[in-house]
Structure 1
């Protein structure tokens, strides 16, 4: 149903899922009620009905119940909660195509495109003549488009085949394109723009501090607005929603020996950024002829290490102490990052204390900050790709 459905139709549907109907049909009754409430744009009541349905669902509940619950949760923008339900649906019907379609949709919403493609391929293999399976495959493949908007070469033929079959089965062409995640791309672009503006400001240190403060205040405001919008859409408070996402993430990583390694690489890739925007800024200003006094450089070093510490504490809070310890020890990535951060900070303080250091030394130090950040991000991409490759090959080799 769409929003254009008349109020009379909604009234009839709502009357159908009465308390007596729900009591007779158990989980299925609650889920039908939640679907009707979702169409009526009552997200809080719809989420409550889903929670009741899952609470009374037994271990042998039909997979259709969990699939419907996952669809409703996705419509409420609760992708992490839908992931847990999708896994239960797959357990209830390991050979079914509908749980695989749900998993594909959930993984795609979470940005896990390789997993979304793998789930969609399972659905197509089981039910090649089901339109929803072909749509899931086409959308998951199209979600892998790069910044240029083109599909990877290895996916083009498969994507064309999935689209052709879906159209043959009567699918609306508008359903075959996955959302491009404009909000995420826009947020990353805004962050990069702000960082560039900090480095382009060629006046004194005071202006640089003002610009940096305005940038981070704008980012905080943007995050707050996005959280508020998500809260209104889902009907669940930001605090409870964040807690649910964190709990689901911990459970998922604890049960997958590869995912926590990806998390460790991602945490390591973030560590150069606080120093790039603190001591890196000091070095950048110095070679441009706007050197900072020693007290200001010491303040920047302190701020940079506080940023690194907050990143590590944030990982511990998000992933839990047990997983965080494993991440810190993984491949000594974070240890290397901390050593490099200490070296860059020491170099910044040493050149500042020297007072009349040659310009080329400041240029080298600024370039080292930038190279460290770029190299860290590049290595992280390669490592994540290799871990994903091993993760998908592990079941086949086992």
Structure 2
């Protein structure tokens, strides 16, 4: 939750703050952030092996400390080189965090005596993350409206302090023994497994040591799932990265609405995540993800709507757009994470989930540069591109679903009780 507060604080300010503090253009800042993300891209492959050997807890702890160091670096940024160095350190920490945090949640859900579905676990985490992001986004909206350099710098300093607090909470509050990796031969309560003879990626003989990644690279359906989720992830990150600069530069008369709209997204997710998980549980997971794709396409189209509408309709149109985004994220977040965890063999779950998080890593790397380049081309270009990409996920998921393990792609309730 604290980590999400930091994300909510920094992401809406990132392009504007770094441009103002260094004098670089938005395109140059977007390029540097994308370059920093590229440098950190190989990290999850190493992190996944560490998680399988040591458990996710120590990796998450180090990740928080790395991010804190990166944010302290942002306070000293004066030129393009400073941006690249600070962003690289922060990106390494962020990449390690996302490559290990969901394995931590999955390992805890394995030991749930109540046998709750993974969707419920990830739904609860999603609610907490939304609440944290909302606190950060509201604060960022205030900072955006003030448009003050010292306020921006104070916000970045607060991010560094909060990350240190998160590390302390993890060290003191999460027992190491509760998050140890699941070993080959151990079964998670109520989890359905695929017959190894039918699914080579689940063959225990291929799991130990360095051969774990060999099994993963042979699991073509899982890699296709990672590819499709990259499109979902790009839609997911664009609200924070693209929405504030778009409104500020193309719809400046309603810049004041950015903070309240980001807060609206947060309130909807914090309040409705658990009810939405219950509502979509009867649906096969791939159909839920198709629904998320359609909702994100609607969000992108409606965000571009004010470019052709009278000013009186700008805020209502953007409000409906953000509600479509919120609905898509409410569906996508718990379902995609549950699907990725149940499609992974227990003994190398850390590697699988680390590679799955590459979808978000790639999206984070691509988004700043893609948005800045498309916005420079035309005001509508980023949203038309995003809507087309979101719609393309629907036939993609329908084609992929039959190739995934049944226990992973079935409904949340059925998949957990099949065994």
Decide: shared fold, TM above 0.5.
no
Comparing both chains, which one has the higher relative contact order based on Cα–Cα distances under 8 Å and sequence gaps of 6 or more?
2
Larger Rg: 1
TM-score in terms of structure 1 length: 0.30
